[in-house]
Structure 1
Amino acid sequence: MLAVTAHDHPPAPPPDAPVAVLANPTAGRGRHRDVLPRLLDRLGTADRPVRLLGATTPEQAEAACRTAVADGAAAVLTVGGDGTVHRAVQAVAGTVVGFGPVPAGTGNDFAADTGFPADPLAAIEVIVAALRAGRSRPVDLARMTGADGTVRWYGAVLAAGFDAVVNERANRMRWPRGPRRYDLAIVAELARLRPRRYTLRLDGEPQEVDAVLVAVGNTASYGGGMRICPDADPTDGLLDVVVGGRFDRRTLMRVKPHIYRGSHVRHPLVRSYRARTVELAAEGITTYADGERSLPLPVTVTAVPAALRLLR
């Protein structure tokens, strides 16, 4: 098991180090435009300078967070959903820099599963109180390594089955815009649904499975509250792996609603595992981590205990 220790960390930021804020103005379809001004106002009580990060693309957002950490930020806060969290995590993983997610997106699974209030204004109060008290709590992250050595971190869930395939198709579509594009992608992929052969290696123990759904969770949920890995605990140093086997279209659609409650794991075609390191391979799959397009299979995913310092 790979742990993040004090020896791995740079010195703690000084008391006057700034707090960097990454805000996604389009998160949650713009429902929470008032959140950023409220956050900036409340940060004024934490006695630290505030640096608002500018970015117009996800790549720029990630780069801005990395620069802020390299420049000595005491904390990075995000205003947005899981995609915004994902970009910031690439910068703060494995450091002593505090992290606070203000849940203002369509999907806020990481914030919810790590104990932050669903109401963004209430989450701000939790984060600001932690900053003022100098308090943070460690949680695990998942570190993913691709075949070419590329490393990515994620906080919630890695999708590597039907949901990843649907996301990939939806991202290739130019019409229609909005949620209907995703709905059409589901219909298209259901029409060609077939189990794929996966090679799994769990803490070195190999097995091959034919599956439609494969998820590797640090936390329980993805997709805005779907509890795909319902027993995942981001403080146990382990990854939860949920595999949905040879589902046909009708069975898959019957099982899907159960994922919101986590009861799908009782279906006879579903298997659950727990491991520190997961090696996963299959043909033609691009994974999605925290809802963001990530690495193609094969990948190796490792649970890294205490890799993130949450401001709560």
Structure 2
Amino acid sequence: MSGDGCPVRVRPGTVHAVTADDHPAPADRPVAVLANPTAGRGRHRGLLPRVLDRLAAGGRPVRVLAADTPEQAEVACHAALADGASGLVAVGGDGTVHLVLQAVAGTPVPFGVVPAGTGNDFALDAGFPTDPLAAADVIAAALRDGRSRAVDLARVTGADGGHRWYGAVLAAGFDAIVNERANRMRWPRGPRRYDLAILAELARLRPRRYTLTLDGERIEVDAVLVAVGNGASYGGGMRICPAADLTDGLLDVVIGGRFNRRTLIRIKPRIYPGTHVTHPLVHTYRARTVTVAAEGITSYADGERCRDLPVTVTAVPAAVRLLR
């Protein structure tokens, strides 16, 4: 999925952290639900009616948004807010979350996640239960009690000034290159396409020259992995930025340097527990604003196609309120 938000420039700190008590929602205002029936390869397809029943226990009408494409889904989320929705809930994986974030970011409308995807990285980093029904119960209780919790988001701005919001991690290295190849392939379908893309990119692996600017400090480096994390995880549990905190107002930047194929294959399993950061070729930084530039790379945020480099990523504190 790709697409541009309105090219509005928001300076760090200007998103107002609206509490639940600032604008209490009337009980008759609906909660809008964006559900992806194909998330998690469809394994939760039959669960949606029970999820909706659990959400209705929050005391608000529940309305499922109609959309056949990611573009339609994003438009539907914006329309739901314009129509006065008292909350938005994503039922799906990180891609579904990413779509809803484009609407709720920087607004007082609270947001909940029912994790039902292959990758649920933002949901788990944000503290939602892994079980979809348990997550729906948590969201319903938050609605009933008028409770929400502010967390940070990252805003990525391209060279044209348009921007996207993301909650988890922006990939701008080998993983982004693999995603881009997999998205161009028409065969095979399913996860094998990604596996073949990995093999193809491993065969032509080479460090790329990156220029990064971290809060005004310029760094030039040859690297294979570059990730900018608002959250810790991407790719379904890979803790690429293991020290990232959704409430610290900072981005975690992880750079994996001049890996050869053997080193990359060895270090990949260490990303799941986050121990890769102890490798001597891995360097970590923290910053409020990060610019990443390199030739011929398209970044991916929350697993979704985002923008060609160069991009500027900004941490926006308390940019969204979670129903939990």
TM-score (norm 2): 0.94
Q: Distance in 1 between matches of 2:84 and 2:162?
A: 25
Q: Distance in 2 between matches of 1:178 and 1:294?
A: 21
- Tell me the CA shift for residue 17 of structure 1: 1.3
Q: Does 1:288 align with 2:294?
A: no
Question: 2:127 — aligned with what?
Answer: 115
Q: How does 1:1-312 map to 2 (within 5 A)?
A: 1-5=12-16, 13-312=25-324
8 A contact 1:285–1:297 mirrored in 2: yes
Q: Distance in 2 between matches of 1:303 and 1:15?
A: 33
Structure 2 alignment gaps of length 5 or more: 1-11
Count of equivalent residues: 312
Q: Which amino acid aligns with 2:13?
A: L
SS in 2 for 1:34: helix
Q: Distance in 1 between matches of 2:253 and 2:34?
A: 31
Q: Distance in 2 between matches of 1:282 and 1:44?
A: 48
Query: Relative to structure 2, which stretch is displaced further, 159-168 or 58-67?
Result: 58-67
Q: Distance in 2 between matches of 1:3 and 1:244?
A: 33
Q: Distance in 1 between matches of 2:173 and 2:52?
A: 40
8 A contact 2:17–2:318 mirrored in 1: no
Q: Distance in 2 between matches of 1:132 and 1:158?
A: 34
SS in 1 for 2:45: coil
Q: Distance in 2 between matches of 1:2 and 1:150?
A: 19
SS in 2 for 1:46: coil
8 A contact 1:193–1:249 mirrored in 2: yes
**Deviations for 1:268-311, whole angstroms, at most 9, x for unmatched residues?**
00000000000111000100000000111111100000001000
Q: Which amino acid aligns with 1:168?
A: E
Give the share of equivalent positions with the same residue, in percent. 77
- Moved segments of 4+, more than 4 Å: 9-12
Q: Distance in 2 between matches of 1:15 and 1:97?
A: 14
Query: Relative to structure 2, which stretch is displaced further, 130-139 or 43-52?
Result: 43-52
- Tell me the CA shift for residue 51 of structure 1: 1.4
8 A contact 1:156–1:220 mirrored in 2: yes
TM-score (norm 1): 0.97
Question: 2:3 — aligned with what?
Answer: none
Q: Distance in 1 between matches of 2:172 and 2:15?
A: 26
SS in 1 for 2:235: coil
Q: Distance in 2 between matches of 1:176 and 1:116?
A: 33
Q: Distance in 2 between matches of 1:171 and 1:256?
A: 21
Structure 1 alignment gaps of length 5 or more: none
Q: Which amino acid aligns with 2:51?
A: L
